[in-house]
A and B are shown apart, each in its own frame.
Chain A
Amino acid sequence: DTGVSQDPRHKITKRGQNVTFRCDPISEHNRLYWYRQTLGQGPEFLTYFQNEAQLEKSRLLSDRFSAERPKGSFSTLEIQRTEQGDSAMYLCASSPNSPLDYEQYFGPGTRLTVT
C-alpha cells in the first residue's frame, strides 16, 4: 500500500509532555498538509508544506506547535508542553503539485489523548 502513513496511530501523554508525530506522504506528492480534528467537528487546517518549505500556518498553530519537512519527504509535527485541549485526531494529507490534480489523500491520523 503506497498511501499516506502516520505514526503513531495513538498517543497518550501526560499534560506538559512533548509529543512528535510523523507523516509519510505518497512518494511523488510534493504538497503536504496537517489538519486537526476534534470530536464532532470537521478537520481544521494547521499548516502546509510545498516540498520542504512551510508556506502557510494557521492561527490555530500556537508557538507550542512546530512542523518540519526536511528534504521534502516525510513531515513531523511536534507539540511542546501539551495541554488537555490538544487532545484531537491529527491528520496528514498529501497531494501532487499539478493544478489538474488537487485531490488531497489523507492518512489514518494520529489520535492524541492528553491526560
Chain B
Amino acid sequence: AQTVTQSQPEMSVQEAETVTLSCTYDTSESDYYLFWYKQPPSRQMILVIRQEAYKQQNATENRFSVNFQKAAKSFSLKISDSQLGDAAMYFCAYSNGGATNKLIFGTGTLLAVQP
C-alpha cells in the first residue's frame, strides 16, 4: 500500500526567509501524482503545487517550488520569501491516478511564520 510520511510536525520561519518542508512516500507504481495542500486555521484546504511523476522538471508556482527526487521517493516543498499568510498546516499527498484518483495524505507539517 502507498504511504506518505512527513517527519516534521512543526516548522518555523522568519518572514521573508526560505523554508523547506520534507515529504517521503512509498509506492511501487511508476506513474503517479504528488501534491502539497495548504490548510489555514479554520479554512478549507487548497492546492499549493502538484507534480506529475513522469515529469523530470520540478514544479514551480510563484514562491513555491518542489524538489522531486523520484528514485529517493522524496518530494519537498520550498517556500521562498515567506509571508505571514503562509502560516498553515501543509499536507503532502499522493495519488496513483487510476479510476478514483483518491488522495493519500501525510500527517502534515504546521508552519509558523515569525514577523
Give residues in A with beta carbon < 8 Å to B: 3-4, 31, 33, 35, 40-45, 48, 55-56, 91, 95, 99, 102-109
Contact = CB atoms under 8 A, between A and B. Distances in A.
Contacts of B50: 103
Interface string B5-40: 000000000000000000000000000010001000
B68 interface: no
Contact of B104 (A45, A99, A106): A45
Contacts of B99: 55-56
Interface size grouping (class) on chain B: 20 to 34
B35 to A, nearest CB: 8
Q: Report the 10 A-B pairs with minimum CB-CB distance, sorted nearest first.
A: A42-B105, A106-B45, A45-B102, A108-B44, A48-B100, A56-B100, A106-B44, A42-B91, A43-B105, A102-B101
A43 B50 CA distance: 17
A19 B99 CA distance: 29
Interface in B67-115: 91, 93, 95, 97, 99-108
A112 B93 CA distance: 24
A106 B46 contact: yes
Nearest to B9: A40
Contacts, number: 53
A55 B101 CA distance: 11
A102 B102 contact: no
A33 B95 CA distance: 13
15 contacts: A3-B44, A31-B101, A33-B103, A42-B91, A42-B93, A42-B105, A42-B107, A43-B105, A45-B104, A48-B102, A55-B100, A102-B97, A106-B44, A106-B46, A107-B44
A44 B97 contact: no
Given A103-B50, A106-B44, A109-B44, A42 B106 contact: yes
Residue from the set A55, A99, A104 with the largest chain B CB neighbour count within 10 Å:
A104
